A and B are shown apart, each in its own frame.
Chain A
Amino acid sequence: MILTVTGGKGGVGKSTVAYNLAAQLDGVVVDGDLAMADLPASHGPDLHDVLAGRAAPAEAVRTDGPVAVVPCGRTLAGARAADPTELADTLRTLDRTHRWVVVDSPAGLRADVGLPLAAADATVVVTTPETAAIADALRVRELARELDAGLCRVVLNRTDSGTATGGVADRFGAPVVTVPDSDALATAQRNGQPVCRTAPESTAVDAFETLAAGVYSCSSV
């Protein structure tokens, strides 16, 4: 199943959610931000090479870390050599060998967001509780709807204990999972680890378990 993690605004925590969700699902996370890669990278072929026809999708999967990752190259030249329209085929190829393919999509409403949405079976929209972030997330939710990528869950990231979620769920038309603001989560992401490894007792882990359960329930419909 191809699951695209997206959000209208940059910096709302898409990569963190994608990485930790892939850890919970035991899936592979694909860094779909062709121009501004964000996930841990290492040596060897990456998504730029796959999209430029220089490597097969399976060659770009890194399994040496705690989560299987398809990293993305970090040069503009690499981004320009890559053919973004090959992304759908790449994701489908990975989908044949992995139960879950989680795509960390870039921010915005350009085709680099539309292409992973077009290939996705389901979408998780990430937003912070700020009004501007929610407005942008609603726009990307419309785009997902146009591209038939069903909205599975909305992640309300960096909430404090008093955040009300009912209104957000109504506006998006999907259940909301809150991820509390957490130092443990930020530290884990900085160190390229899922939070379930570094702080298994933290509230953030509970949130990602809830999110993973929600995603499971979408896949069985």
Chain B
Amino acid sequence: MVSSDCTASHHDGVTLVTVQLRDIDVPTRVHIENRLDGPLWPPRREGIPEPGWTDAGFAGVVGPGDETLGYATPAEPDGQPAELVDAERVPDAGPVGELTADAASVVRQLGDPSPPADAVPSGGTEPTVPPADGPPTVPDDPALEPASGTAVGRAERPDQPDAAGDTARDATADDTFQRPPAVGPWLDEMARRVGHAEALGAVETLPAATEAVRDAGGLAAVRDLSAAADERKLRALSRRTRRLADRRAEATVPVETLAALA
């Protein structure tokens, strides 16, 4: 007969519950329920809960021998933290924790293959993406919607050395986004300078070089283009707009309430 002993300890706002099961002579299916008033945080491996854990407790085959199970909860310890509600002998059950062909088991045993968040460069033209376990968000700007074809279809493949692609992307983004008049001319000027810099970088023959230098406005203009100032300005603007967009996302305008008050 299985005997159980539950203890709880509280550290830094988290209660750790330990359930010790003893005297398991044959593999036994046990059902343990959380009795504390709060959500159950099951043990996880690679972000996936261990098999058998649910929101309410644990149900699975353990033993033979002694077995210790544990979970965490933000609830304060109060009375008996957990209870063994059922124990049924299942002598023919297979070994516990075996690799099975369901996706959760594969990820738990072999590791989450997603690149870590730190590896994903921030900034640039890519849409903000949620972690793998979050719901996918649809970017507000339709030009950044990958399924829409040209826009990010291009941006997703930086390995294609195709300058026309970037031009096409800029054009697509511009078509769907009305730029504020104050920024428009400055961005156009930047686009012109970036275009010249790209053209100068790509020349391979003397006539092409001559033409590219003439298009850029002479050698003095080329020297000016070679400095990194343009990139700094564009990146600074990008950071500023991103910060503003984040602040704007945080703020909610209670228009209904204000209208009712007025």
B51 to chain A, nearest CB (A): 15
Contacts of A7 in B (CB 8 A): none
Contacts of B100 in A (CB 8 A): 147
B102 within 8 A of A: yes
Complex CA gap A95/B109 in Å reads 26
Contacts of B146 in A (CB 8 A): 45-46, 48-49, 54-55, 73, 78
Contacts of A44 in B (CB 8 A): 147, 149, 153
Looking at the complex, which one of B46, B114, B159 makes contact with A80 (CB distance below 8 Å)? Answer: B114
Contacts of A188 in B (CB 8 A): none
A81 within 8 A of B: yes
A118 within 8 A of B: yes
Q: Ordered nearest first, which 7 A-B pairs have the shortest CB separation?
A: A112-B113, A81-B129, A85-B103, A111-B110, A114-B106, A43-B153, A118-B101
Q: How many residues in B have their beta carbons less than 8 Å from beta carbons of A? A: 40
A120 to chain B, nearest CB (A): 9
A110 within 8 A of B: yes
Which residue of B is nearest A78, CB measured? B156
Looking at the complex, which one of A54, A59, A87, A110 makes contact with B110 (CB distance below 8 Å)? Answer: A110
Chain B residues 109-160 with CB under 8 Å of chain A are: 109-115, 117, 119-121, 126-127, 129-133, 136, 138, 145-147, 149-150, 153-154, 156-159
A53 within 8 A of B: yes
Which residue of A is nearest B129, CB measured? A81
The answer to whether B132 and A111 touch across the interface, beta carbons within 8 angstroms, is no
B15 to chain A, nearest CB (A): 30
A209 within 8 A of B: no
Query: A80-B129, A118-B103 in contact; A43/B112 too (CB < 8 A)?
Result: no
A98 within 8 A of B: no
A23 within 8 A of B: no
Interchain Cβ contacts under 8 Å between A and B, 18 examples: A52-B129, A52-B136, A74-B156, A75-B126, A75-B156, A75-B158, A77-B129, A78-B129, A80-B114, A81-B130, A82-B114, A84-B103, A111-B113, A115-B106, A118-B101, A143-B110, A146-B99, A147-B101
The answer to whether A35 and B113 touch across the interface, beta carbons within 8 angstroms, is yes
A109 within 8 A of B: yes
Interface string of A25-49 (1 = CB under 8 A from B): 0000000001100000101111011
Interface string of A100-135 (1 = CB under 8 A from B): 000000100111111100110000000000000000
Query: A77-B120, A147-B99 in contact; A84/B156 too (CB < 8 A)?
Result: no
Complex CA gap A170/B132 in Å reads 41
